[in-house]
Structure 1
């Protein structure tokens, strides 16, 4: 490494450590990042594939800079997951021990004694979650400036996981509040493997200043992809089998295939919900029992106890026995579980970015390919098959995601959104931090130029304060100082306050005094019922409602608990690629014969229905507007129709419109009228919409602010209006019946 200028810039003790660890050379991402980070005078984003050395690219220069400071410096590493903090502690502790730099993990599982020691002498490397950082600002108030006075860097890991979310807006606010207390900017380093638009990511990291960027593309190693198709035949009497655990045939068949091809190696299996994690873990381990093979399949999702999750992570890390995790996105992020041979995706991937992140876990050993196995399930075609079944939507959407993945495209970060829910939380938190704030001070701190909520106007902020005052969330003393009201005080003093995101109230599942995890209360169960949890079957013996505890005992048989699913919002580019695939004729090399048959059947239906030229389809009591747009634009069109008294909702094929006696031509004329007029205001658009509360504190907002925050995150009115003005204008001027293909007869 003597020829490396970046290596020579590192502290000699770090150089010695790297030599002792057998490093032959720095990786490209480290060579490029070290000179940018080392001076400690700018913000930097480091984007590179999984296992490319991003963590070292940040910490080697950050630690070198820290060691050059006359006072004891502090690096604050912020992670979205406690498990990532535990991993980074293991990676950094040995290096930092040689440097005599202390490493402090800080989250809900860390003892109060360890936290007190850090507070007494805050130096070294602090590994913390946003929630714990929030609690620190709330509870330590005006001592924040002293606690963090020697901070040299903020390192934000898995940056993409924060962008566009309530938690991300919370993080922006926390960093801004700390910097305000310090009276200076602290350099921010963002780490990520999946960033669709670096400029948007830079805007998120620091909206008002330039951000240096290190973007190292994937080395382009060999990638092997196979998508297998499985068909659910109709049950007796014509009842559909899909999503019915008692009659489904495809999941056991998928489990048998995975059991055959994954045994003997480490892998990750991603179903699309916690329910499916439990189902497939149970099916796979049942096959282990039937063949008298050791257990190789382990569950991992957010409702399991940390002990069960750690057990899965430990099984993946050890090399004596093969292990495969059946998991949700909890193992999508950068938890160090070592290299896995392959990744399996059951069902449509939530997004292209998610698929890329998951696939990055495979092929990490030199010379080994990355392997992706996809599994799609379609219902059999018969006279009762609906339009989605005839078009084979799951197969085509999966193919579209893989097609875009191969072109190195993935969804850009969603940096927009009013995020009033998080503003409520940050306002309450800031009042706790300072012991009260004047309204003008609160606005300057949170909503002025360069503040995290700078898009919020003074009028909107004043309306928020009035609403919170009316509901006793806030109160004002005789001097005008904002304080917590009777209800607000209870909110802030509850342990759940520090999280910006909402979570269902859950019941603890306990067996013989040992906590197994939690089950959402919205999916209630009863004594005597058998459920799958943690990949095993349990008999519910007792439900203790006052203490929200379900007591279980080991049993055989059972059905997966009804966890909520977790599908992502679909981007317009994905839907447009689906349309392109329908219009193509050739085979896709990554589909097996059954999946290719599904695709051929979907293409045939697309051609038979002339969907290349048709915009509206008659589906009996409703019409389907085929837009090939993403969910945000489709929802905007549905809201435009609802504002005119027409029932409508966004769907997978476009917008589903209730006809209520209207002919298709009437609906088409209505849509053309909507497109020819000026776009309505948010209040007009959502005047008749209900159930808009999505985020944790949305219920505390006025109706006007609720409509505004919902629209900013869920509706793309510009894209919707552009589509209406162009597509429908072309359709009505170029093709009118009979050549338009529109019909009032059901398909």
Structure 2
């Protein structure tokens, strides 16, 4: 195994190699390795003494697993080969299965068991680990949660010889409810064994290593060793193709008898599918549309194209709603190697599941984030001498007299360009480590009570909040939360003050679904006069009289039923809706500012095809003609528009703050639109926002309707729900600062 980065030979020139146990050295020789990778050389001296926390950040296929386990296994062999254990925590069962196969060959030669533990693993294999508690245990956070709940009293003995905790795909946890659950579980593990355990984070994509260290070891982030391996100077080829939206073939024609799917989808979608078919056939690739619905559509079009041409199908769908069998069929097709295969997929194939090397990555529409794009791109060009290839496909609307700002600046295309440029500069979104995460706190309270057979309120405060993973919560809110959980029959208290599961709490904890801290992605049904229009994910907080865009039309919100996930709407008479709605992803400030820079420049963007270059030229011309480089507020028909060039967390906060001034603004990407008001009225409201001294989210979110986002939000007191939501989704201080900075426009 070789690398483009400088590395030392395994025959004695390598300092890291010389530190390894001789049996591991022998295994490396037997595998035909001629050198250790950059990450492995750096990680061996850092990890071999089990005396510190370490994060290893390296590109996909850079040998991060071996970088961690070579020194970890060496330590175990030297100190306690027959009783020591390692906990490897992964976000995916499929990744655990991969790592089991990857580690078993090495560990078998060392007489160290490797045990995969998740719902698909036979009970007999799990009992083997429970019997002696030694070896490498591969587990998901949910299965570790189940161990605490079901075997709490046995855990001190089972984990007594635990020496390391390894977290794979660290970036996939940071900032999420699942990540907060993982932090809590690691904290509880250390309380269980009564000592600090070295924590090892592995990741290919980390935007800010300092924030990643803060996630891995919140109380001592400055003591985490950071290992960043070189990229090896891999060649990267990029092409972004632009398309103008075209209607479906059947549109405007007399009714077609038995229409085919090709008659019903937009012509531009067919053009993208045709190009994919042309360039991807005969090789292994990954295609990332921005929704499961689009995955199914493109998979169907490409499969049908194979049938029409009379050739074997090469295209496979892969997303979280498919059964395990369907997903594994796609994974096997990619990994097989004897026949070409392309997966049309969601983030399910973004993480490190071993599917072999792929030739190229295709991204339809802007990626969810730059970090996500980098992770996807790491799948391509893994064979020596092959470049990584990225193809982007951007479909932009045909412009007309009623086209708004988003369409006129070609927002989808410009966002894609900005993200690629930032990727090439090495910038990625910093991980989010703040937020109260009260939904997961509720789950952890119930879990600790199950583990211990009951707990005092003070014990829960000391374990979970004071100096623990939920330390952002104050004591008053914690007491309020416990009381509300009692009102909801999740908790009850005996005469001694011991907290126990209430009637509902006991039922929920005994269900399999309890172990996951996160809720499955829900979509809201749209109803108009009792008729269901369809469903869509809603990523921004909604207020009555706000607008949503669906099925190419604007709708005004009448009411929101958060519990039943229903939005009641009525048709809105506003102008044409923007074709680009951001794909539901939360866009960072830096991306929007780079979009502004793309539009302000006149130099060509080298990775665009002719059509995309022409679309960008139109957008730049509009930017100059409308003075968007200096003008931030203008009238657009019956709307006042405020151009912020800021990310969604700030824009959504501005929407909420303007609502306290009586305005119903809509976050439309680079700008906010406020229907039915003048620019003077908008500027007056912005001025008052800039002067606000009270940013209490309880008051600001008083009218927000769809803030029940996380799994246990329903069990929270209303005031704490608003605080938790704001801490995770809104940048209220940045929004006020932006408003205050517009004083030059207000005069």
Normalised by the size of structure 2, how large is the TM-score? Answer: 0.88
The counterpart of 2:71, out of the listed 57, 61, 64, is: 61
Contact kept in structure 2, 1:30 and 1:56, CA below 8 Å: yes
Identify the range of structure 1 (173-182 vs 162-171) with the bigger mean alpha-carbon deviation: 173-182
Distance 2:49 2:108 in 1: 23
CA shift, 1:644, in A, is: 2.2
Once the two structures are superposed, residues 548-594 of structure 1 have per-residue CA deviations (whole angstroms, 9 ceiling, x without a partner) of xxxxxxxxxxxxxxxx9963210000000111111111211111011
- Gaps (5+ residues) in structure 2? 1-9, 254-260, 524-533, 537-580
The counterpart of 1:49, out of the listed 59, 65, 82, is: 59
Distance 1:148 1:194 in 2: 30
- Say whether residues 1:366 and 2:381 are aligned partners: no
CA shift, 1:245, in A, is: 8.5
Once the two structures are superposed, residues 482-502 of structure 1 have per-residue CA deviations (whole angstroms, 9 ceiling, x without a partner) of 001011111111111100010
Q: Which residue of 1 aligns with 2:193?
A: 182
Q: How does 1:727-738 map to 2 (within 5 A)?
A: 728-733=742-747
Distance 1:91 1:567 in 2: 36
CA shift, 1:371, in A, is: 0.4
CA shift, 1:247, in A, is: 4.2
Distance 1:715 1:197 in 2: 20
The counterpart of 1:165, out of the listed 164, 176, 182, is: 176
Once the two structures are superposed, residues 520-570 of structure 1 have per-residue CA deviations (whole angstroms, 9 ceiling, x without a partner) of x979xxxxxxxxxxxxxxxxxxxxxxxxxxxxxxxxxxxxxxxx9963210
Q: Which residue of 2 aligns with 1:579?
A: 596
Contact kept in structure 1, 2:695 and 2:732, CA below 8 Å: no
Q: Which residue of 1 aligns with 2:215?
A: 204
Once the two structures are superposed, residues 608-656 of structure 1 have per-residue CA deviations (whole angstroms, 9 ceiling, x without a partner) of 2221121123233332211000000011111111122221232212222
The counterpart of 2:472, out of the listed 442, 455, 479, is: 455
Once the two structures are superposed, residues 200-243 of structure 1 have per-residue CA deviations (whole angstroms, 9 ceiling, x without a partner) of 000000011210110113222111000111111357679xxxx9
Distance 1:672 1:245 in 2: 51
- Say whether residues 1:148 and 2:165 are aligned partners: no
Q: Which residue of 2 aligns with 1:315?
A: 333
Contact kept in structure 1, 2:91 and 2:169, CA below 8 Å: yes
Q: Which residue of 2 aligns with 1:499?
A: 516
Once the two structures are superposed, residues 2-59 of structure 1 have per-residue CA deviations (whole angstroms, 9 ceiling, x without a partner) of 1111101111110000001001011111000000000001100000111111110001
What RMSD, in angstroms, separates the aligned Cα atoms of the two structures? Answer: 1.9
Assess, with a 3 A threshold, how the Cα gap between structure 1 residues 233 and 254 changes in structure 2: closer, same or farther: closer
Q: Which residue of 2 aligns with 1:429?
A: 447
Distance 2:666 2:694 in 1: 19
CA shift, 1:676, in A, is: 2.4
The counterpart of 2:687, out of the listed 629, 654, 672, is: 672
CA shift, 1:263, in A, is: 0.9
Assess, with a 3 A threshold, how the Cα gap between structure 1 residues 396 and 201 changes in structure 2: closer, same or farther: same
Identify the range of structure 1 (418-427 vs 390-399) with the bigger mean alpha-carbon deviation: 390-399
Distance 2:188 2:357 in 1: 39
Contact kept in structure 2, 1:643 and 1:687, CA below 8 Å: no
- Gaps (5+ residues) in structure 1? 507-520, 524-563, 734-747
Once the two structures are superposed, residues 405-454 of structure 1 have per-residue CA deviations (whole angstroms, 9 ceiling, x without a partner) of 111101000111100000000000000000000000111110011x1111
Once the two structures are superposed, residues 664-712 of structure 1 have per-residue CA deviations (whole angstroms, 9 ceiling, x without a partner) of 1121022112202324222222122222111110011011100110000
- Say whether residues 1:227 and 2:240 are aligned partners: yes
- Say whether residues 1:300 and 2:318 are aligned partners: yes
Q: Which residue of 2 aligns with 1:215?
A: 228
Q: Which residue of 1 aligns with 2:574?
A: none
Contact kept in structure 1, 2:262 and 2:301, CA below 8 Å: no
CA shift, 1:73, in A, is: 0.7
- Say whether residues 1:723 and 2:738 are aligned partners: yes
Distance 1:486 1:646 in 2: 44
Normalised by the size of structure 1, how large is the TM-score? Answer: 0.88
Identify the range of structure 1 (674-683 vs 374-383) with the bigger mean alpha-carbon deviation: 674-683
What's the secondary structure of 2:517's corresponding residue?
coil
Q: Which residue of 2 aligns with 1:618?
A: 635
Q: Which residue of 2 aligns with 1:561?
A: none
- Say whether residues 1:291 and 2:309 are aligned partners: yes
Q: How does 1:402-481 map to 2 (within 5 A)?
A: 402-449=420-467, 451-481=468-498
Q: Which residue of 1 aligns with 2:105?
A: 94
Q: Which residue of 2 aligns with 1:636?
A: 653
The counterpart of 1:13, out of the listed 14, 23, 26, is: 23
Assess, with a 3 A threshold, how the Cα gap between structure 1 residues 91 and 234 changes in structure 2: closer, same or farther: closer
